């Protein structure tokens, strides 16, 4: 994975892009245009001035070298920031960039350009901060209401009436290179050794100090308990992870490209608690990434992953395939384009790593999206709806897959990301996990126990639709897993002798590959649904018939009792017409013939609930 990031960084440099990892500007909550404010220290009169007439775009961020603020307790060493206190508040010396730059680099870098920059900063310190004063309020007064639209602030000085942008000075660029890539200190010097990334003997960093909260910081050497010899000495850290300055720079640039152009958030569109961050790290097998194909590869990787995240019609999927073939032709030979799919998220000084799926061919994503689209269209046709109403992409799976939540954060993503891996790679996934989660999903909706899970509570009028649609999507998910080779569904071992008295239900059975005992339970659930519909019409919005289903599991004996209750209920609610009588007779005959196969209580509940969901949803749609 890190080799792939390095290769992306090499392509970024070859394409003539910025040599620094430029951060995205934040526009959320500001609305409309955003601006860059020049914080001008007027050395001619000792007054603070501000010019906020510059429209701020990503190009502006690159021009003024916005590489992000130092996180945690790290010293602030940048002169372009999204928070003016780092330029104007000297009461916190470690987070005051002007003072920290002087303290860190004065006398350390013997370069004329750097020394000229430091001389300007010393003059600013002397004229504006000799009394450790904060000028944040002064800037607020200058900005007024415009402050809400300012995305970036950059330090400038005015001398002899001329404004000097410090972020554009040659000395600042050289200083920033040292801040971003060298990270040398008296405690952790640069020494001769072998780089663990490129494998070459050269000067290496004994402490890489990767930026906190990013993928690379899993290699930050800050825990002695995980180090060779249980020591954080330079020689111990070299054994754990040694990287040369050039490789560090390329990896950071590669990471910047991935963060800006190849990231997803699963769960963001569902408005549910928690969301899963996904990083796509591309690689072309057998050759190096070409700078001219870099943006094309990012675009196609995004489209391919997007097609397995949300519904795409077959025309859109085939268009992605055509674009991939066109991209292929630029290499002059058929290439294998793969993605490393990393799940995790940055928080403060840590990166929470959750899962890595290595070497997923992009063609696999396209094939998976084709299967998803086909299954969605098949089920949608049963309800006379559009395919996107029955999407089973990653977003939709997340919306129905119960995960424990505490204080708005998902506590354990493992069951879900392992399911995604099975879909992407075709590796085995326990069928029982799907069915038990389906029953838990139904239980959450039935009993209203939304608090503690990522399942969003729907509006009252759509509760039943969400419950029933989710249960049927679990059936679709089982079919999807079967078609990608991740699970094996039972094969019918008995000769079918019962004719299903409902053509639409028979069509559903055929599409979902049901065997006889599953059909029996499903039909029982259909009849439960029909009783529930009558109860709802009579004002019982909770549907008392559902109390006869034990969500903890039902043995074969309990299923038989439910079948007896259903017959009585059909009579009591006067819906034992010829059609329902035929369904009941077919169900009872199949049930009696397959009682010995009803061994799993949770499976029994799942298929009963699936039938209930089908009947209820059909009634709602009508």
> How does pLDDT run across 288-311, given as a tens digit for each residue?
788 888 888 889 899 999 999 999
Q: Which pLDDT value is given to residue 31?
A: 62
| CA separation for the pair 355, 556 (Å, rounded) | 39
pTM, rounded to two decimals: 0.85
Q: Which residues are registered as beta bridge partners of 346?
A: 351
Residues 6+ apart with CB under 8 A from 223: none
Q: Is residue 231 within 8 Å of 224, Cβ to Cβ?
A: yes
Give pairs for 437-441: CB < 8 Å, separation 24+.
Answer: 437/401, 437/402, 437/474, 438/470, 438/471, 438/474, 438/606, 438/609, 439/551, 439/602, 439/605, 439/606, 439/609, 440/402, 441/400, 441/401, 441/402, 441/470, 441/471, 441/474
Residue 339's CB: how many other CB atoms inside 10 A?
Answer: 25
What the block records as the tokens of 422 is: 């099975």
Q: Is 274 a residue whose pLDDT tops 50? A: yes
3-state secondary structure 401-436: CCCEEECCEECCCHHHHHHHHHHHHCCCCCHHHHHH
Q: What is the pLDDT of residues 64-74, one digit of tens each?
A: 999 989 887 78
Distance CA 615, CA 584 (A): 14
CA atoms within 13 A on the CB side of 119: 10
Q: What is the DSSP letter of 178?
A: I
User: Any idea which of 26-30, 360-364, 439-443, 550-554 has the lowest mean pLDDT?
Assistant: 26-30
Confidence of residue 225 (pLDDT cuts 50, 70, 90): very low
Name the phi and psi angles at 157, rounded to 5: -125, 155
* DSSP letters spanning 327-359: HHHTTTS--EEEEEEEEEEEETTEEEEEEEEEE
Per-residue pLDDT tens over the stretch 539-577: 998 899 999 999 999 999 999 999 999 999 999 999 999
Which two structure tokens, joined as six digits, stand for 437?
């989660």
How high is the mean pLDDT of the chain? Answer: 89
Matching residue, tokens 């961050």: 277
CB 242 within 8 A of CB 234: no
Distance, C-alpha 458 to centroid of its chain: 23
DSSP symbol at 179: I
The secondary structure of residue 404, as a DSSP letter, is: B
| Across 342-366, average pLDDT | 86
Residue 466 CA to residue 92 CA, distance in Å, equals 52
Of the listed ranges 34-43, 253-262, 450-459, 494-503, the one predicted with least confidence: 494-503
Say whether pLDDT at 236 is over 70. Answer: no
Query: Is the Cα torsion angle 44, 64, 147, 102 positive or negative in sign?
Result: negative
Buried/exposed code over 181-208 (b: 16+ C-beta within 10 A; e: otherwise): bbbbeeebebeebebbbeeeeeebbbbb
User: Cα(257)–Cα(43) distance, rounded to whole angstroms?
Assistant: 39
pLDDT of residue 234: 61
Say if CB 488 and CB 434 are below 8 A apart.
Answer: no
Per residue in 488-529, pLDDT (tens digit) is 888 776 667 788 888 999 999 999 999 999 999 999 999 999
Q: What are phi and psi of 50, to 5 degrees?
A: -150, 135
- Taking the CA atoms of 238, 240, 244 and 248 in sequence, report the sign of the dihedral they define: negative
Q: How far is CA 222 from CA 231, 242, 243, in A?
A: 10, 14, 16
Q: How confident is the model at residue 43 (pLDDT cuts 50, 70, 90)?
A: very high
Q: Environment class of residue 299 by beta-carbon count within 10 Å: exposed (0-12), middle (13-18) or buried (19+)?
A: middle
For 22, the 3-state DSSP assignment is coil
Pairing mode, if any, of strands 162-165 and 336-347? unpaired
Higher pLDDT residue, 226 or 422?
Answer: 422
DSSP 8-state assignment for residue 192: E
Q: Which of 289, 286, 298, 357 is nearest to 324 (CA)?
A: 298
SS (H, E, C) 212-239: CCCHHHHHCCCCHHHCHHHCCCHHHHHH
> What is d(CA 199, CA 240) in angstroms, rounded to the nearest whole number?
14
Give the CA radius of gyration of the chain: 31
Tell me how far apart the alpha carbons of residues 187 and 172 are, in angstroms, rounded to a whole number. Answer: 24
CA 300 to chain centre: 18
Rounded distance between C-alpha atoms, residue 487 and residue 449, angstroms: 30
Strand arrangement of the beta sheet that strand 243-244 belongs to = 190-194, 201-205, 243-244
Say if residue 599's pLDDT is above 50: yes
Residue indicated by tokens 């560090």: 248
Please check the confidence at residue 223 and state whether its pLDDT lies above 60: no
What is the pLDDT averaged over residues 8-21?
A: 86
Greater pLDDT, 580 or 329: 580
Contact 312, 326 (CB under 8 A): no
Give the span between the Cα atoms of 426 and 513, in whole angstroms. 19
188 versus 100: which is more confidently predicted?
100
The length of the chain is 622
Res. 396 pLDDT band, cuts 50 70 90: very high
pLDDT per residue over 131-189, tens digit each?
Answer: 878 899 999 999 998 898 999 999 999 999 999 999 999 999 999 998 888 876 666 78
Stretch 390-399: mean pLDDT: 94
pLDDT of 333 above 90: no
Distance CA 566, CA 381 (A): 29
What is the bridge-based pairing of β-strands 276-285 and 336-347? antiparallel
Side-chain half-sphere CA neighbours of 101 within 13 A: 31
Predicted local distance difference test score (pLDDT) of residue 332 = 59
Return the percentage of the chain with pLDDT > 90, whole number: 62
| Cα–Cα dist 281/356, whole Å | 11
| Structural contact between residues 439 and 602, judged by C-beta atoms closer than 8 angstroms | yes
Instruction: Provide the pLDDT for residue 241.
Output: 80
pLDDT of residue 226: 46
Q: If you count DSSP H runs as helices and E runs as strands, how many of each does the chain have, helices first?
A: 21, 14
Q: Which residues contact 144 (CB under 8 A, 6 or more apart)?
A: none
How many whole angstroms separate alpha carbon 529 and alpha carbon 619? 9
Q: How far apart are CA 338 and CA 336, in angstroms?
A: 6
């Amino acid at each position: 994975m890190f080799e792939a990031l390095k290769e992306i960084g090499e392509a970024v440099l070859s394409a003539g892009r910025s040599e620094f990892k430029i951060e995205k500007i934040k526009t959320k909550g500001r609305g409309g245009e955003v601006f860059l404010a020049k914080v001008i220290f007027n050395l001619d009169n000792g007054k603070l001035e501000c010019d906020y007439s510059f429209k701020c775009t990503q190009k502006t961020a690159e021009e003024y070298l916005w590489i992000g603020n130092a996180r945690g307790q790290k010293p602030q060493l940048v002169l372009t920031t999204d928070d003016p206190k780092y330029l104007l508040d000297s009461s916190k010396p470690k987070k005051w960039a002007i003072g920290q730059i002087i303290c860190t680099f004065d006398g350390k870098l013997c370069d004329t350009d750097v020394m000229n920059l430091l001389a300007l900063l010393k003059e600013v310190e002397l004229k504006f901060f000799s009394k450790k004063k904060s000028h944040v309020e002064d800037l607020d007064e200058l900005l007024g209401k415009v402050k809400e639209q300012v995305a970036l602030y950059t330090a400038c000085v005015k001398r002899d009436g001329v404004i000097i942008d410090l972020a554009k000075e040659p000395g600042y660029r050289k200083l920033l290179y040292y801040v971003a890539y060298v990270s040398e200190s008296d405690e952790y010097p640069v020494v001769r050794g072998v780089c663990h990334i490129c494998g070459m003997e050269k000067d290496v960093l004994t402490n890489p100090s990767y930026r906190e909260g990013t993928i690379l910081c899993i290699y930050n050497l800050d825990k002695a308990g995980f180090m060779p010899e249980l020591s954080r000495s330079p020689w111990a850290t070299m054994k754990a992870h040694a990287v040369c300055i050039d490789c560090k720079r390329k990896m950071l640039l590669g990471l910047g490209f991935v963060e800006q152009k190849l990231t997803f958030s699963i769960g963001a569109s569902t408005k549910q608690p928690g969301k899963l961050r996904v990083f796509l790290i591309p690689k072309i097998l057998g050759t190096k990434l070409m700078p001219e194909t870099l943006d094309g590869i990012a675009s196609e990787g995004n489209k391919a992953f997007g097609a397995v995240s949300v519904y795409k019609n077959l025309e859109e999927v085939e268009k992605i395939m055509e674009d991939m073939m066109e991209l292929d032709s630029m290499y002059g030979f058929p290439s294998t384009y793969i993605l490393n799919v990393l799940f995790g998220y940055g928080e403060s000084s840590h990166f929470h790593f959750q899962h890595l799926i290595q070497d997923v061919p992009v063609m696999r994503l396209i094939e998976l999206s084709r299967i998803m689209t086909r299954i969605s269209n098949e089920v949608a046709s049963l309800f006379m709806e559009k395919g996107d109403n029955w999407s089973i992409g990653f977003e939709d799976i997340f919306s129905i897959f119960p995960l424990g939540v505490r204080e708005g954060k998902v506590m354990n993503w493992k069951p879900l990301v392992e399911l995604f891996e099975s879909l992407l790679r075709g590796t085995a996934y326990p069928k029982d996990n799907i069915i038990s989660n389906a029953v838990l999903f139904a239980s959450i909706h039935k009993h209203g126990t939304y608090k503690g899970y990522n399942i969003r509570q729907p509006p009252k009028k759509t509760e039943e639709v969400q419950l029933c649609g989710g249960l049927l999507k679990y059936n679709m998910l089982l079919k999807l897993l079967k078609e990608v080779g991740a699970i094996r569904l039972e094969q019918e071992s008995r000769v079918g002798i019962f004719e299903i008295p409902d053509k639409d239900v028979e069509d559903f059975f055929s599409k979902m590959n049901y065997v006889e005992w599953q059909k029996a339970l499903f039909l029982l659930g259909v009849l439960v649904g029909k009783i529930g519909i009558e109860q709802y019409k009579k004002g019982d919005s909770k549907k008392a018939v559902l109390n006869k289903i034990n969500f903890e599991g039902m043995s074969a004996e309990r299923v038989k009792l439910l079948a007896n209750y259903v017959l009585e209920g059909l009579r009591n609610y006067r819906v034992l017409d010829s059609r329902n009588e035929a369904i009941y007779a077919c169900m009872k005959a199949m049930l009696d013939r397959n009682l010995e196969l009803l061994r799993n209580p949770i499976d029994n509940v799942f298929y009963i609930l699936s039938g209930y969901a089908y009947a209820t949803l059909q009634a709602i749609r009508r």
